[in-house]
Structure formats: structure tokens, C-alpha cells
Amino acid sequence: MLRPDAAFRAGAAAFDAVALPTGGAGQGDFAALMRDVKQDVTNFIENGGGDSDAVMGLDAAARAYLARQGMVPVAADPVSAAGQPDGLPVDGRAFLDAIAPLAAETGRRLGVSPEILAAQAALESGWGQRPIRQSDGRDTHNLFGLKAGGAWQGDSASIATTEYEGGAKLTRTERFRSYANPGEAFRDFGRLLLDNPRYQGALNTGGDVAAYARGLARGGYATDPQYGAKLARIAARLQSGE
């Protein structure tokens, strides 16, 4: 659990006091790294800390700084099943291995890197650990957070979800699509992007996660103003093989 806003403001002031090195061999690269970390921390604080996905999306150095300030749990720096830091939560690699063939198949259809689609599924489902469930506890396998609009003919589940309107965070109950298995979720997601003109900008973006995220944003895929940034951070880890 994150600490109150007062702690975030105090942490922001503390970080502003950190002097960035200038001049000297190798100092430029370090200064650039520190500026990136500072921006990560500043964005995190300005957005009220966010949820566990926001913590996961942070650079390791930014997470370590926030943990030292008591703003995120030390355990937020994820470890692999073997207990070694690797940029993924426990069981994260098992989740990625399970959806890898589906991400590859859908990626070929969309012209998008499988790592980006896997990152999106991880972001939407909490690495498979926070699935949308039916009232009886059954998993909906909704890996992309797709809502069940009026035209949806399949099964659905109603849950409380967070939306953003005019920058304000709201909680409301929405209906989400329900699938028999993850394969159905990937295929339905692929059809959505291929058939809906609103998302044409996300197609054939290859490994360019920024272009893909912009295409989704233009189509109104998510209301979270930080959605693209969260997706980009996770995708960058997967693309780098961390």
C-alpha cells in the first residue's frame, strides 16, 4: 500500500535536492540517466503514486529510490521465480511463456511486435494475477480489458473499474467481455483492431511501442492518461530481454 500524498510531496522535494553531475568523462551519460530517473519519480508522484502497474512500469533505479523514501514497498522491486531481480514479477515469465504463441500469431495479423502485445496483456491483467472474474469466480480470460458494448453477443462480467474523465479518477461498474480461453481473447482483440477504423494508426507499427500507443490513444482505447507510458515501460523490458 502506498503512503499518503504528503509523503509523496516530501519525497518530491527530497529528489529535487539531488544534484546532477556535470562535466568529466562519463558524467554526461550518468547525468542523462539521473534525469530519466528523476522524470520517472516526478511523474509517479504527480499522479498520486498510481497502482501496482505504475510501480511495475518504473525504471529499477526509480523504484529503488522510491522504496528508500518509503513511498513504495521494497518488494515492489520484482524478482523472478528463482529469486533474482529480472524486471518481472514472480511468475511473470510463466505468464509470458503461456501467451507467447498467441502474441506471436496476433502480432503477425496486426503487424505489431509480439512483445508489445504481451506487455499489453500483462498491463491489463496484472501479469495474469488480477483477472476479471465472473460473480461465481470463473476467469473471463479477458486479457485486454475489452468492455462488452451493446453489439457484444458473448458472455460478460460486471465489475467495478477505474476510469478517467477530465483527469479525474472515477470508479464505476462496467460490463466486460468473457471468453472461454486466452486464445479467444487474443483473437477478439485482433479483430477489434483490424475491423475498427479508429485503431488503424496502431496497425503495422512493428516494434515501435510509442507509435502503437499513440494509435490506441487516438482511437480512445483507454481513459488512463498514463496508459501509453505504462505500456511503453513494460514493453521496453520485454524487448530488451530483461
pLDDT, tens digit (0-9, with 9 covering 90-100), for 130-142: 999 999 999 999 9
**Of 88, 87, 192, the residue nearest 142 (C-alpha):** 192
State the CATH architecture for 92-240: Orthogonal Bundle (1.10)
Residues with a known catalytic role? 163, 188
| Nearest alpha carbon to residue 58 among 42, 69, 80 | 42
Angle between helices 27-46 and 5-16 (to 10 degrees): 160
More confident residue, 179 or 72: 179
DSSP for 121-173, written as a single string: HHHHHTTTTS--B-TTS-B---TT--B--TT--S-EEEEEEEEEETTEEEEEE
Residue 54's pLDDT band, with cuts at 50, 70 and 90, is: low
Domain residue extents for the chain: 5-76, 92-240
Q: What value does the mean pLDDT of the chain take?
A: 76
Give pLDDT, residue 133.
93
Query: Would you say the pTM of this structure is higher than 0.75?
Result: no
End-to-end CA distance of the chain: 26
The predicted pLDDT at position 187 comes to: 97
Cβ(142)–Cβ(128) below 8 Å: no
Backbone torsions φ then ψ of 126, nearest 5 degrees: 60, 45
Least confident of 90-94, 187-191, 194-198, 203-207: 90-94
